[in-house]
Each structure stands twice: as structure tokens, then as C-alpha cells.
């Protein structure tokens, strides 16, 4: 018996030296297109996943923006907003701070500031500058949350976030008629650059006493003690 073929003809069976050899027929099928198709499918899936993730992120950001109070204004738009207010004869009052864990002392301070004019603009220290001013562990509340809470107060007309530790650029943008600080400051202990810009725009500096017994640091201490 010299040779035999399988039913499909795809392989030859040959007996040589008492051994049965199976000789595979050469394959002329090119698998490279399949490899490219497979890689393309993987890349398309990754692209689709990334697109979905981007859409979800945009939806989240859009929701946050729509839910944010119109009182919260981007810093770049503050100058034009305040220019229009001045042109209409409004007396602008400005103050600034961290306002971390808003308490009744803050509220009364802001109400008193609002009573000094027609429009109260609040400059809010951003998260990074709060850490520089207050130390590790602060702020407790993020800048966006702090801005939204401040904007919910009836006495506050505008809130803007600035990244610097000093309010010089905020004051230059708002150009208030009255600048309000807490009574722990004096006109002599204000930052030199802040004082210079206030003198340049002719703003009146008013000091409002803080409500005794209220402070964010005190609240943090009380919370820590209650948990220990």
C-alpha cells in the first residue's frame, strides 16, 4: 500500500519505513486581514468607551453648571459685571475670605456688609490658597460648595473664586466703593498691595466686628472633641 488520502483531500497519509506519516497540505489562507480587523475592533471599542466616559463627564459638569447659582460668576467676567453696576449708579461693597464651614458669625458679618451699599460682591479664596493660609486639612468644604452656599444668602449679590492668597486682583476687578474687613484687621495691618489698590480706586475701608464665640476653627475643635 503506497499512499492514501483523507476524505477531504486536505492531507496525505503516507507509510514510510513502517511509520504512518500525515503530511499537511500547505495553507494558502492569509490571516493578516483578520489580525488587522481584530486590532481595529479593539481600538474602536476603546474609542467608544472613552467617548462614553467623556459624555458622562460633560453631562456631570453641565448639570453642576446649571445647578450653580447665577450669583456665582467666573472671575474673568467680574470686571464687566461691576462696570455695568457702577454705570447704573450702584454702590458696590466688597469683602473676601475663606468662608469655610459657614456659621452665623459669617452670616451676620455679610449682612452688615450688605447694609453699607447696594450690591455685595464676595471674593472667595480658592482651595489652594486656603491651604496656604489655614494649613493642612483645610478647606473642609470645596471652593465650589463654599461659593454655592454663599450665593444662597439673600445678602450676597455676587460670588467669585480667586486663586491667590491676597485679594489684590479681586479688588482691581470689582473696584468697590466700600471694602469691608473684620475687626481683627486695621487699615495699617492690611496687605500693602491691597491697601495700594484701595487707595488708587478711592475705596472706603470699613471694619465690622466679628460675632464673639463663632469661628470655623472652634467648630472643628468641637467636632473633633465630640468624636473622641
Task: Select from 43, 36, 1, 30 the least CA-distant residue to 18.
Answer: 1
d(CA 222, CA 225): 5
What angle (nearest 5°) sits at the alpha carbon of residue 100, between those of residues 96 and 102? 90
Q: Got the DSSP string for 54-117?
A: HHHHHHHHHHHHHHS-TTB--HHHHHHHHHHHHHTT--EEEEEE---S--HHHHHHHHHHHTTS
d(CA 154, CA 151): 8
- CATH code for residues 75-227: 3.40.50.620
The answer to whether the predicted template modeling score (pTM) of the entire model surpasses 0.75 is no
What's the pLDDT at 59?
Answer: 57
C-alpha cell at position 21: 506519516
Position of cell 469655610?
100
What's the pLDDT at 53?
Answer: 80
Name residues whose C-beta falls within 8 Å of residue 104's C-beta, 6 or more positions apart in sequence. 211, 214
- The series of mean pLDDT values per 10 residues for the chain, 228 residues long, is 46 51 54 75 86 72 62 96 97 96 92 98 96 90 95 97 96 97 81 94 92 67 71
End-to-end CA distance of the chain: 95
**Burial (0-12, 13-18, 19+ Cβ within 10 Å), 110:** buried
What does the domain layout of the chain look like in residue ranges? 34-67, 75-227
Position of cell 471694619?
207
Amino acid at each position: 500500500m503506497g499512499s492514501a488520502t483523507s476524505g477531504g483531500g486536505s492531507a496525505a497519509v503516507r507509510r514510510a519505513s513502517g511509520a504512518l506519516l500525515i503530511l499537511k497540505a500547505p495553507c494558502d489562507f492569509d490571516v493578516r486581514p483578520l489580525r488587522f480587523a481584530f486590532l481595529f475592533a479593539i481600538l474602536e471599542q476603546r474609542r467608544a468607551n472613552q467617548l462614553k466616559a467623556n459624555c458622562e463627564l460633560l453631562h456631570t459638569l453641565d448639570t453642576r453648571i446649571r445647578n450653580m447659582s447665577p450669583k456665582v460668576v467666573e472671575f474673568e467676567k467680574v470686571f464687566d459685571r461691576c462696570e455695568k453696576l457702577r454705570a447704573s449708579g450702584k454702590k458696590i461693597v466688597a469683602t473676601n475670605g475663606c468662608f469655610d464651614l459657614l456659621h452665623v458669625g459669617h452670616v451676620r458679618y455679610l449682612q452688615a456688609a450688605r447694609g453699607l451699599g447696594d450690591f455685595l460682591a464676595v471674593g472667595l479664596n480658592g482651595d489652594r490658597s486656603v491651604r496656604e493660609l489655614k494649613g493642612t486639612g483645610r478647606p473642609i468644604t470645596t471652593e465650589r460648595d463654599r461659593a454655592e452656599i454663599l450665593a444662597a444668602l439673600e445678602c450676597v449679590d455676587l460670588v467669585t473664586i480667586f486663586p491667590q492668597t491676597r485679594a489684590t486682583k479681586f479688588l482691581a476687578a470689582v473696584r468697590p466703593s466700600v471694602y469691608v474687613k473684620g475687626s481683627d484687621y486695621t487699615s495699617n495691618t492690611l496687605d500693602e498691595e491691597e491697601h495700594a489698590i484701595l487707595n488708587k480706586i478711592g475705596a472706603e475701608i470699613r471694619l465690622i466686628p466679628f460675632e464673639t464665640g463663632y469661628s470655623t476653627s472652634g467648630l472643628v475643635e468641637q467636632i473633633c472633641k465630640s468624636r473622641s
